[in-house]
Amino acid sequence: MVLAGCSNDPSPAARPIGATPSLTPSAGQRVVSQSLVAKPTTLDLGGVTVDTWAYGDTAPGPLLRAKAGDMLRVTVDNQLPDDTTIHWHGIRLRNVADGVPGQTQDPIKPGTSYTYEFTAPDPGTYFFHPHVGVQLDRGLYAPLIIDDPSEPGRYDAEWVVVLDDWIDGTGTTPDEVFTKLTGGQGGGMDHGSMEGMDHGAMRGMARDGAQPFGDAGDVAYPHYVINGRAPADPDVLRAKPGQRVRMRVINAGSDTIFAVAMGGHQMTVTATDGWPVEPVTTDAFYIGMGERYDVEVTLDDGVFPLVATPVGKKGIARALVRTGPGRAPADDTTPRELSGQVLMGTDLRPAESSRLDPKDPDDQQMLHLSGQMQPYSWAVNGKPFGQNTPISLTRGNRVRLRMMNMTTMTHPMHLHGHTFALPNGLRKDTVLIAPMRSIDVDLDADNPGDWMAHCHNIYHAEAGMMIALNYVK
């Protein structure tokens, strides 16, 4: 295959970066400061106790919230026994704050701290997580919300709903999971029938055609959680009957696409990855790793399950919505909405305000996704990250990325530092690409630096399904 415009040297795995230049707030700019401690801790997931790593003593970590245009100044104290960084997923920030070790900063060594300073220009629902190894699959993640000062606010209450697949501290760690995956053992792990790499079962699921994502994940997790709680002792979201609630749903999972529904309710999707869409009312919706959906729901009177089922896997994540007295539904209740219309994000249409200015692309670049389970290897443009050739971007260009999935799995492809537009104009920073599908996305190269595009399945990314996009002018 001939790749246009790829003339850089292959990216070295990690080069020394040196001190990060500090940022001075502009006149009148508000500064939101927060400190985080990344550390080993013990968490109660609701009937399950795990030793893990988290930001403080909760997972999700503390909500970070600012207004569009604010400067964020976040100090991270690394008390982990390992290097770490933080990536501010989806934020169109200055390159030096992007949190990619060896590309935008040196890793934060154990026992040291580091300060991130950046302006968050766009309102929306985001999150943050490390960009080192498979640390995302620990408890190291937290929501990041950028408010729009001019938004009308058509809702009475707001809930942040963070989904995760959980294995850390259940007799194994994400590092061990990755070692087993890459060790070519592939046939299941030794701590219980639901754990390990349940791949044959997922292929079976793919054949029945019930969901559009084929082989959706590599790891069968022992637990799926909403806001850090397992179904046996779920998070309870409270409001009053008749109130209109805005849910900001974030998939912080490492290897799991979820289908989300609220028993007895329809949901109206209003934004994805921070960008307003033409509102669509649906029974349920899919959300891939790294994606976010804002939905609005008018609440009925009673107690209802808010459920996220892992696509192609066994298990359930659940919270409870309570607007009145009443007994909670059984913890394995699957709302019938999940067998109704399940919205695919790529079927959404952008709000007018989310569209890029009409323009033909100046340049086209290919991201050819390849790989398989046995041996476990994943690549972009024929080689794993570190051996593949960075894509060159020229400042000012409208660039079309043609992302071609040549595998039997779905990959949530995420781009740093920019958002892109799908062919129908939908703006996103993370998009699910089903097996053997290809998607063209357009971006404006308006944020110079060295960036990443990668699969947000953290095991695929760590195995090499990642590529650098470097501004050359």
Binding site for ligand C2O (CB under 6 A): 87, 89, 129, 131, 290, 414, 416, 452, 454, 456
Partner that binds at residue 416, options ligand C2O, Cu ion, none, CB closer than 5 to 8 Å by kind = ligand C2O
How many whole angstroms separate alpha carbon 118 and alpha carbon 128? 13
Find the length of the chain: 473
Q: Closest separation between CB of residue 72 and Cu ion, Å?
A: 29
- What does 87 bind: ligand C2O, Cu ion, none (CB cut-off 5 to 8 Å by kind)? ligand C2O
How far apart are CB 458 and ligand C2O at their closest, in Å?
Answer: 9
Q: How far is the CB of 456 from ligand C2O (least distance, A)?
A: 6
Shortest separation between residue 146's beta carbon and ligand C2O, angstroms: 16
From the list Cu ion, ligand C2O, none, partner contacted by residue 411 (C-beta under 5 to 8 A by kind):
Cu ion
Give every CB contact of residue 274 below 8 A, 6+ residues apart in sequence.
90, 122, 123, 124, 125, 126, 146, 292, 419, 429
In the bound state, the residue with its beta carbon closest to ligand C2O is 89
Cβ proximity to ligand C2O: between 271 and 413 the closer is 413
Q: Which is nearer to ligand C2O, 304 or 451 (CB)?
A: 451
C-alpha 73 chain-centroid distance: 22
Residue 454's binding partner out of Cu ion, ligand C2O, none, with CB under 5 to 8 Å set by partner kind? ligand C2O
- Secondary structure of residue 204 in the 3-state scheme: helix
The piece of 107-115, 272-280, 298-306, 450-458 that touches Cu ion (CB under 5 A) is 450-458
Identify what 265 binds: ligand C2O, Cu ion, none; CB under 5 to 8 Å per kind: none
The residue among 117 and 273 lying less far from ligand C2O, judged by its C-beta, is 273
How far apart CA 308 and CA 162 sit, in angstroms, is 10
CB of 176 to ligand C2O, least distance (A): 22
Minimum Å gap between C-beta 119 and ligand C2O is: 19
Residue closer to ligand C2O, measured from CB, 428 or 454: 454
Q: Copy the structure tokens of residue 99.
A: 């949190």
402-431 footprint of Cu ion as x/- string (CB under 5 A): ---------x--------------------
398 binding partner (options Cu ion, ligand C2O, none; Cβ < 5 to 8 Å by kind): none
Q: Contacting Cu ion (CB under 5 A), which of 41, 227, 309, 457?
A: 457
Is the CB of 221 or the CB of 304 nearer to Cu ion? 221
Q: E-assigned strands of 338-437? A: 342-343, 363-372, 377-380, 391-393, 398-405, 411-415, 420-421, 427-428, 430-433
Characterize the bridge pairing of strands 466-471 and 391-393. parallel
Contact 145, 160 (CB under 8 A): yes
Tell me the two tokens of residue 462: 């760590």
**Given the structure tokens 């020229």, which residue do they identify?**
394
Nearest-approach distance from CB 288 to Cu ion, in angstroms: 10
Residues 6+ apart with CB under 8 A from 414: 89, 290, 429, 430, 453, 454, 455, 456
- Closest contact distance (angstroms) between CB of 417 and ligand C2O is 10
Report what 248 binds from Cu ion, ligand C2O, none; CB cut-off 5-8 Å by kind: none
Is the CB of 94 or the CB of 460 nearer to Cu ion? 460
Binding flags for Cu ion, 128-147, as an x/- string (CB under 5 A): --------------------
- Rounded-to-10 torsion of CA 382, 388, 392, 397: 40
Round to whole Å and give the CA distance between 331 and 353: 41
In angstroms, the CA 303 to CA 328 distance is 6
Backbone angles phi, psi at 353, to 5 degrees: -65, -15
Per the listing, tokens 């790499």 go with 197
In the set 216, 444, 460, 468, which binds Cu ion (CB under 5 A)?
460
Taking alpha carbons only, the member of 265, 30, 61 closest to residue 160 is 61
Task: Give residues in contact with Cu ion (CB under 5 A).
Answer: 411, 455, 457, 460
